[in-house]
Structure 1
Amino acid sequence: MPTLSIITITYNAERFLERTIESIVAQQATDFEYIVIDGASKDGTLDIIKRYENHITTWVSEPDGGLYDAMNKGQQRATGEYVWFMNAGDELYDSETLPKLLEAIKATQADVYYSDALFVQDDGSPVGLRSQITPHTLPHTLTWRDMALGMKVCHQAFVARRAIAPAYPIDNLSADLDWEIRCLKAASGIQLVPFILCRYLVGGLSVQQHRRSLIDRFKVLVTYFGWVQTVINHGRIIWRASQFKKSV
């Protein structure tokens, strides 16, 4: 059993998939598996997958019920002790990222590892660290209650022990927030690693369908924090966002 399963979800991702795969190929580590779940792409995505087939442990291309259905498929195929989602267009931060993460896992055996994420544009140019260019400061000691004001940690900068990782609700665009909360609630050890884990491609599904994403986020937060507290917290979220815009 490998220590880590890295999972990439793709659909018509020929523009960005290669950068994701190359960031994994560049790692000086072997104690991991790499899984690609494609949603029956109709562009050149499969050509890229086949070109790098020697570096992919397993891959599948078939219709699915959307992003989170595909992520469930990836998690079901994973055999690693930990799971880490790095979707098409996202990258491991640099060639030392995986060796350093595996070393941290070996040393501490926490249930969750997390860090900051570098936001990048389509062309790969950096936008800035998530903790600096969004109102989401990164807690040094993370708990599930830190999610009361939204997703504190970028999903691609969050690595969880597979034994505590739940299935994603496939009909909610904030399913990654729900997944992180449930992982944190189940975790007995949560560790901030002192290095950046990923380069995150801005403009994903939740950005493309922003209004529905906000509604779905509200539903998730109500589940864990209650209706009244979530309404109050959303007032705080709006105020915090307005103050942040004034400061940048």
Structure 2
Amino acid sequence: MHDLKISIITVAYNAQATIEQSIKSVISQDYNNVEYIIIDGNSSDNTVSIAQKYREYISVLVSEPDKGIYDAMNKGIALATGDIVGILNADDFFAGNHILTVVSDAFKNNNTDIVYGDLNYIKPDGTIRRKWVSGEYEKGKFNFGWMPPHPTFYCRRELFERFGNYSLDFGTAADYELMLRYLHLNHLSVFYVKQVLVQMSIGGVSNSSIKNRLKALLFDMKAMYNNRIIFPPVTLVLKPLRKLRQFF
């Protein structure tokens, strides 16, 4: 079997503080068959000039206005030619140089549609704030507030053609909704890699204010109803409760 081609999509907007670490973590991978796509939302800082320093390693570099992070991801998916697609945000970085080899092996050895793993939340000083240990997926687990960390979520590119891209109708919950649609609603095959794949810098859009948090909850609820979660109000309560153990 040939080496699977992995398309890594990094979406960025005014990410000059973090994008270099993200890029370096991609280009230092020991896996050779990688297509690296950077979609920038017309940044007004030095994001693009930092990316240009590594242009020889970047297959596609686009900088233009977009409708937000998930629109940018969809642009990247449309440009991707790999067998497998993964998203690495501009403030995330791989947990080691062998992560894409691990991901490729998981697909090849398990004949699966989707692979996911564990994630650490990293404070600005480099120490770990939270550990997101995903655990094995079982049918119905989303009903109890479970979800895998989206930055560790890899899937076969053809799934986007068959089951759709990120829907902009779900705001900040577009990644959650896509994973619900693929795993909970359509029962696609999935394999859990029991190791940390991605380190995530702390500070996301959806957690920035009470108003944004409430909007995020409404988007979560809409995603649950759309994808046949049994009793969304209960799942909405359980979802944040599951995060508590990540601190211990």
Q: TM-score range by the shorter chain?
A: 0.7 to 0.9
Aligned to 1:168: 166
Alignment of 1:185-196 (within 5 A): 185-186=185-186, 188-196=188-196
Post-superposition CA distance 1:42-86 (Å, at most 9, x none): 000011110011111111000001111111101111111111000
Aligned to 1:141: 137
| 2:43 aligned counterpart, secondary structure | coil
Retained in 1: the 8 A contact 2:4–2:104?
A: no
Give me the whole-angstrom Cα distance separating, in 2, the residues matched to 1:71 and 1:36: 9
Displacement of 1:40 in angstroms is 0.3
Give me the whole-angstrom Cα distance separating, in 2, the residues matched to 1:52 and 1:123: 25
Aligned to 1:134: none
Alignment gaps of 5+ in structure 2: none
- The code of the aligned residue for 1:174 comes to A
Retained in 2: the 8 A contact 1:16–1:89?
A: yes
Question: Of the candidates 220, 225, 231, which is equivalent to residue 223 of structure 2?
Answer: 220
Give me the whole-angstrom Cα distance separating, in 1, the residues matched to 2:27 and 2:76: 19
Displacement of 1:156 in angstroms is 0.4
Question: Of the candidates 36, 39, 44, which is equivalent to residue 38 of structure 2?
Answer: 36
Per the alignment, do residues 47 and 236 of structure 1 end up closer, same or farther by CA in structure 2, a change over 3 Å counting? closer
Displacement of 1:225 in angstroms is 2.8
Per the alignment, do residues 237 and 84 of structure 1 end up closer, same or farther by CA in structure 2, a change over 3 Å counting? closer
| 2:231 aligned counterpart, secondary structure | helix
Alignment gaps of 5+ in structure 1: 132-137
Alignment of 1:1-248 (within 5 A): 3-131=5-133, 138-143=134-139, 145-150=140-145, 152-165=147-160, 166-171=164-169, 172-184=171-183, 185-186=185-186, 188-208=188-208, 209-225=212-228, 229-237=231-239, 240=241, 244=244
Displacement of 1:241 in angstroms is 6.2
- The code of the aligned residue for 1:68 comes to Y
Displacement of 1:2 in angstroms is 5.4
Give me the whole-angstrom Cα distance separating, in 2, the residues matched to 1:49 and 1:181: 33
TM-score normalised to structure 2 length: 0.87
Per the alignment, do residues 218 and 49 of structure 1 end up closer, same or farther by CA in structure 2, a change over 3 Å counting? same
Retained in 1: the 8 A contact 2:142–2:180?
A: yes
Retained in 2: the 8 A contact 1:164–1:187?
A: no
Structure 1 vs Structure 2: percent identity of aligned residues?
29
- The code of the aligned residue for 2:175 comes to D
Aligned residue pairs total 237
| 1:191 aligned counterpart, secondary structure | strand
Per the alignment, do residues 2 and 49 of structure 1 end up closer, same or farther by CA in structure 2, a change over 3 Å counting? farther
Post-superposition CA distance 1:79-100 (Å, at most 9, x none): 1111100000101110121122
